[in-house]
Structure 1
Amino acid sequence: MNIEQLDLYTQIILSLAGLIMLTSFIMLGQGRLLRLVFVFALQGLLLVLATALAAYSFSNHHLYISAAITLVLKVLFIPWMLRGHILKLNMHRDVEALNNKTTIMLGGASLVIFSYYVLHPILADSTIVLLNALALSLAVVLLGMLLMISHRQAIAHVVGFMSIENGLFFAAIVSTRGMPMVVELGVAFDVLVAAVLFGIFFLHISNSIDTLDVDRLNRLSEEDE
């Protein structure tokens, strides 16, 4: 089936799913923390558009509230908080040298293929939007995990963690046409609390040890033992 034969909702939601996955790839190969945070904010904006589209298409008005919460938290507040920490800790000029960057990107591409390989037998009889959106959502989750593994800075780990949550949230929006409002508010509150706690930990760790490099923190732990 050609994409021109699909309805407008399916075309747009699949395009947004592809763009969300693309932002995960961009984050995976990004060495500057400020750019990493900017791309994360862009991913959040795409998630807002997908949520608003689902709200309009399914006449599920409480999804507009979810879109607004996502806009405030993942496009404005969390990127603003992370950017403030990066500038305060004077990390905005640091460039993280990724080891085997080509291997990391190839690993990311393999995870996308793996997502389709796993989900295609399960969702072979489902709609094209469900199969592709869930496969790309799983790819975003796995790419977020790879981001946490491949980057040394703790802030990059937080962005990877939030990206994983973005993938799960997008999958829930597409597959369930909107979770119950109480569940969405609970998830949003958990994300907000996690972001605030991460910020507090960053400041305490930086003031005590003067670094957020995970490799250095691991070596410090080994030396203490």
Structure 2
Amino acid sequence: MSATISFSAQLINLFAALILLLAFAMLAQRRVMQLINLFAYQGLALCLSTLVVAVSTGQTHLYWSAGLTLLLKALLLPWILHRLVRRLQVKWDVESLINIPTTMLVGIGLVIVAFNVAHPISELSSTITRGTLAIALAVVMLAFLMMITRTKAIPQVVGFLAMENGLFLAATSATYGMPMVVELGIALDVLVGAIILGVFFFQIREQFDSLDIRHMERLKDN
């Protein structure tokens, strides 16, 4: 039994590490289509991690969580974003307020902070997923960094969705997930939010012929 749990914990840590690596890849990605693809891969890794936790612990509601994650994060939302990019005829590279090497160095610093902050909390946990709590916090911080360093609307939305991935991983790490009603509510909120943001993108494009949010800031200043 202990060997099975140990192997399951290793698999969970492997998928969590993959989610963190994909967060770094998204932070360094310059092209919007590849950024959306990386988000889809991160959703798939999150689904597999949740599925391993479900099999290892017998928490049946996590099977639904894994299915929702696969449907929403790995398939539906990337498909919606791809359609938005094609319809908006977005061909630009992802622009950043600071250069990529500096962003990556800041990201490494945030990961170090996340591991130091989460370590005392992980020591108090008795779940097999306690080792992924620090990674989940690091993913949230990297996603937030991506949001504040990007100048275009779509990469910022992808950063917000990636942050939600980190929060879901943290919930799975700490308490084996959230109640199903809460998860369904969050899934619906994220889906509706993505649709509303799609409409918002078209409105920005019509007004400014660009998705650069700095145009809105100049409008506010005027």
Partner of 1:219: 218
C-alpha RMSD over aligned residues: 1.9
> C-alpha offsets along residues 182-217 of structure 1, whole Å, 9 cap, x if unaligned?
111111111111111111111122122211111222
> Are residues 1:59 and 2:58 paired?
yes
User: Is this contact kept in 1: 2:22–2:38, CA < 8 A?
Assistant: yes
Partner of 1:22: 21
- Quote how far apart the aligned CAs of 1:101 are: 1.4
Segment of structure 1 superposing worse, 134-143 or 181-190: 181-190
Structure 2 Cα separation of the partners of residues 128 and 9 of structure 1: 12
Structure 1 Cα separation of the partners of residues 210 and 39 of structure 2: 22
- Quote how far apart the aligned CAs of 1:151 are: 0.9
CA change 1:121–1:161 in 2 (3 A) is: same
- Quote how far apart the aligned CAs of 1:128 are: 8.7
TM-score (norm 1): 0.91
- Quote how far apart the aligned CAs of 1:20 are: 0.4
- Please show how residues 33-112 of structure 1 align to structure 2 within 5 Å: 33-91=32-90, 93-98=91-96, 99-112=98-111
> Are residues 1:151 and 2:155 paired?
no
- Please show how residues 144-183 of structure 1 align to structure 2 within 5 Å: 144-183=143-182
What amino acid is aligned across from residue 89 of structure 2 in structure 1?
Answer: N
What amino acid is aligned across from residue 33 of structure 1 in structure 2?
Answer: V
- Quote how far apart the aligned CAs of 1:105 are: 0.3
Structure 2 Cα separation of the partners of residues 94 and 19 of structure 1: 27
- Quote how far apart the aligned CAs of 1:174 are: 2.1
Structure 2 Cα separation of the partners of residues 123 and 22 of structure 1: 21
Partner of 2:121: 122
Q: Any stretches of 5+ residues in structure 2 without a counterpart?
A: none
What amino acid is aligned across from residue 105 of structure 2 in structure 1?
Answer: L
User: Is this contact kept in 2: 1:14–1:129, CA < 8 A?
Assistant: no
> C-alpha offsets along residues 106-150 of structure 1, whole Å, 9 cap, x if unaligned?
000000000011122333354595443111100000001000011
What amino acid is aligned across from residue 149 of structure 1 in structure 2?
Answer: I
Structure 1 Cα separation of the partners of residues 100 and 9 of structure 2: 34
CA change 1:137–1:65 in 2 (3 A) is: same
CA change 1:138–1:124 in 2 (3 A) is: same
Structure 2 Cα separation of the partners of residues 107 and 206 of structure 1: 31
SS in structure 2 opposite 1:57?
helix
SS in structure 1 opposite 2:122?
coil
Q: Any stretches of 5+ residues in structure 1 without a counterpart?
A: none
Segment of structure 1 superposing worse, 26-35 or 127-136: 127-136
